[in-house]
Structure 1
Amino acid sequence: MKNFESKEDREWKAGEQGSRGAGEQVENNNAQSPIPKTQLLLYLIPIIGFFPSLWTLYRGQASREQLAVSRLSITLALTWLLGYLLLSTGATTSDFFSLRLFILNSFLTSGYFIVSVWLILRLMQGKSGRLPGFSTLAERMFGKYLS
């Protein structure tokens, strides 16, 4: 490879090797780096994280952990959206139950945000980002079609 390197590159590498201590090792740039936590945390942001999660599943070029968190994020968002729409529709069409359905709707939305924040905190601590019921549901729903 020395034939293809410029003189400046060779001098720079020689100076760099001379400045290294005896115990230091050269980092391997080809080594696979771990998944950045910020990318996994982005997937779990309520409502907004749905779009990068969908893009990750659409591409299909991600690690198992990224795919699992993306599936979970999409499942949570779609479940919340379906419940939100059904409760809102029921509240607008009903005279007697409208206040109760709006309250249930706010509980559902608050629950979605709290679960998302809880999962973000679990990932920041290095723990698993799985929910027992929703993770298996996400695997069944999106495992076949989107990965």
Structure 2
Amino acid sequence: MKEPDPIENRELQRLQLFVYLVPVFGFFPALWTLYRRQGTREQQSVSRLSITLAFSWLLGYFLLAAGAGAQTSEFWTLRLLFMNSLLTSGYFLVSIGLMVRVWQRKQPRLPWMTRIAEKTLGKHL
């Protein structure tokens, strides 16, 4: 009798989805999965979504931080830094929400972001 491959275990695959969706740190295993062209279709889709979310957050974070640093007015600096903190909090909350959907055994998708991830990263990775 053939022993089941531990990588094909559904619970381990679900655990990998959790790892991909961890804010900031999940970017690296997700990128590795896409770079090596491994994993199931669902793992690759979640990897693309995780990478797109991380890049979007990072771009917004640096643009808002640069804008806050370049402003001489305290009025705009405070507002840009506040928007930066809202963006970061939103990124973490969306990632946790997607992790909850994985825990509930639902498809971790964001209608607008998943479409962008599949179109941009689907071509290149």
TM-score (norm 2): 0.91
Tell me, what secondary structure is at the counterpart of 1:144? Answer: helix
Residue 88 of structure 1 and its aligned partner are, at CA, apart by 0.1
Counterpart amino acid of residue 82 in structure 2: I
Tell me, what secondary structure is at the counterpart of 1:141? Answer: helix
Task: Show structure 2 runs of 5+ residues with no match.
Answer: none
Distance in structure 2 (CA, Å) of the matches to 1:40 and 1:95: 43
Q: Report what 1:29 is aligned to.
A: 3
Q: Which deviations, in whole Å up to 9, do the C-alpha atoms of 1:36-93 show, x marking residues without a partner? A: 2111000000000000000000000211000000000000000000000000000000
Distance in structure 1 (CA, Å) of the matches to 2:81 and 2:9: 46
Give the alignment's Cα RMSD to 1 decimal.
1.4
Q: Report what 1:125 is aligned to.
A: 104
The 5 A counterparts of 1:74-93 are 74-93=51-70
Counterpart amino acid of residue 110 in structure 2: L
The 5 A counterparts of 1:20-59 are 28-30=2-4, 32-34=8-10, 36-59=13-36
Q: Could you tell me the percent identity over the aligned residues?
A: 52
Q: Report what 2:88 is aligned to.
A: 109
Q: Which deviations, in whole Å up to 9, do the C-alpha atoms of 1:82-109 show, x marking residues without a partner? A: 0000000000001221100000000000
4+ aligned runs moved over 2 Å, structure 1: 28-36
Counterpart amino acid of residue 41 in structure 1: F
Q: Which deviations, in whole Å up to 9, do the C-alpha atoms of 1:3-59 show, x marking residues without a partner? A: xxxxxxxxxxxxxxxxxxxxxxx7x52575325211100000000000000000000
Task: Show structure 1 runs of 5+ residues with no match.
Answer: 1-25
Distance in structure 2 (CA, Å) of the matches to 1:88 and 1:100: 11
Aligned residues: 120
Distance in structure 2 (CA, Å) of the matches to 1:39 and 1:30: 18
| Larger RCO (CA within 8 A; separation ≥ 6) | 2
Tell me, what secondary structure is at the counterpart of 1:36? Answer: helix
Counterpart amino acid of residue 104 in structure 2: Q
Distance in structure 2 (CA, Å) of the matches to 1:36 and 1:81: 27
Tell me, what secondary structure is at the counterpart of 1:130? Answer: coil
